Amino acid sequence: MSSSGCGNLGRALCIITGASRGFGRSTARDVSRLVKPGSVLVLVARSGDDLQALQAELAESEAGRAGVVVRRVVADLGRMEGLEAVLRTSKEAFTEDIDHVILVNNAASLGDVSRYSKNFTNMAEVDSYLSLNVSSSLCLTASVLQAFPQRSGLKRTVINISSLCALQPFRSWVLYCTGKAARDMMFRVLAEEEPDLRVLNYSPGPLDTAMQAEARSITADPKIKQSFSDMFAQGQLLTCEESSAKLMKLLLEDKYTSGAHIDIYDV
Ligand SMILES: NC(=O)c1ccc[n+]([C@@H]2O[C@H](COP(=O)([O-])OP(=O)(O)OC[C@H]3O[C@@H](n4cnc5c(N)ncnc54)[C@H](OP(=O)(O)O)[C@@H]3O)[C@@H](O)[C@H]2O)c1
């Protein structure tokens, strides 16, 4: 049965990477409230304690009491074994009555923003960044699509947590901007290739998270650094809760063009 436009996300298997804190954690909380009993959330990150705390919180919540199950995968997504662990758990968790597979590619790192492009001479360093931030999201998405192929009655939604940096260059943010631009294009290609899929590049806005704190403390470019400090000082950062609520609105309405890049300020 289709879950679109009916106020919930269906009986879902929802995989969320980077669920231990920040935007991923808020998204996990929101999704748990919007799926039907019998749904499973697969939460992925390296910090086992934080994932365990979130799992316990959700088990105690109304969703948990209503039968939404949470599985955690403690894994480094920069490594193939990490991806394999996510796949293993997701396949184990899948049941025949699941009618919606949702993958939220949220995990990311900022990379070293304390240096300008001309300082990146070490190929291994760049490869390592791209491995986590680009390769892992393509390979995880492809693996999930293969594990849960198209069939009637099964909806499949793939979300890329994007950024303004996918569209605009930020001085001293070469790794991050490159990774986000590549990810957006990856998901645009996927949307062209797989018309049955729902593909969304969601740009969540400037969020008050650990990644933002890192950005305003170590960014090399003085103007960019100042603009992040100003946003923080002037209370212009958004909470993860408000941004995640906008993502949920997009998913529930389900009217976006597959492959589109949608910014929180346009929702
Ligand atoms: N914050 C912003 O202003 C902002 C703006 C635009 C877009 N975004 C995007 O929004 C998403 C969430 O950002 P955030 O601000 O919530 O970041 P965050 O607070 O730094 O959280 C990042 C998450 O990714 C996980 N992660 C990082 N490296 C990982 C690895 N190697 N393996 C597995 N998990 C890993 C982290 O968990 P562990 O450390 O436990 O592994 C954490 O749960 C990212 O895609 C980011 O690029 C953020």
Ligand 1 closest atom vs CA 210: 19
For residue 128, give the CATH number of its domain. 3.40.50.720
User: Is 43 within the bounds of a domain?
Assistant: yes
User: Is 84 within the bounds of a domain?
Assistant: yes
User: Is 223 within the bounds of a domain?
Assistant: no
Please give the Cα distance from 176 to 110 (Å, whole number).
6
Tell me what pLDDT residue 2 has: 44
Secondary structure element (H or E) that encloses residue 14, with its range? strand 12-17
Report the percentage of the chain scoring pLDDT > 90. 97
Ligand 1 closest atom vs CA 214: 20
Measured in angstroms, how far is the CA atom of residue 60 from the centroid of ligand 1? 25
Please give the Cα distance from 207 to 146 (Å, whole number).
33
Tell me what pLDDT residue 3 has: 46
Question: 3-state class of 238 per DSSP?
Answer: strand
Pocket test for ligand 1, best of 200, 209, 216, 243 (most atoms within 8 A of CB): 209
Instruction: State whether the beta carbon of 247 lies less than 6 angstroms from ligand 1.
Output: no
DSSP 10-38: -SEEEEEES-SSHHHHHHHHHHHHHSPTT
Asked if residues 263 and 206 have their Cβ atoms less than 8 Å apart, the reply is no
Our count of domains for the chain comes to: 1
User: Is 181 within the bounds of a domain?
Assistant: yes
pLDDT higher than 50, residue 1: no
Residue whose entry in the numeric block shows the structure tokens 């631009």? 181
Per-residue tokens: 264:
């929180």
User: Is 214 within the bounds of a domain?
Assistant: no
User: Is 2 within the bounds of a domain?
Assistant: no
Mean pLDDT of 11-39: 98
pLDDT higher than 80, residue 86: yes
Instruction: State whether the beta carbon of 163 lies less than 6 angstroms from ligand 1.
Output: yes
User: Is 221 within the bounds of a domain?
Assistant: no
Instruction: State whether the beta carbon of 47 lies less than 6 angstroms from ligand 1.
Output: yes
Report the percentage of the chain scoring pLDDT > 70. 98
Per the structure, the complete domain to which residue 249 belongs is given by 12-206+240-266
Q: How confident is the model at residue 230 (pLDDT cuts 50, 70, 90)?
A: very high
Mean pLDDT of 95-120: 98
Mean pLDDT of 4-32: 93
Tell me what pLDDT residue 5 has: 56
Q: Output the residue whose Cα is nearest ligand 1's atom 14.
A: 22
Tell me what pLDDT residue 215 has: 96
Per-residue tokens: 237:
């950062």
Instruction: State whether the beta carbon of 111 lies less than 6 angstroms from ligand 1.
Output: no
Measured in angstroms, how far is the CA atom of residue 180 from the centroid of ligand 1? 12
Q: How confident is the model at residue 6 (pLDDT cuts 50, 70, 90)?
A: low
In tens, the pLDDT along 166-180 reads 999 999 999 999 999
Tell me what pLDDT residue 34 has: 98
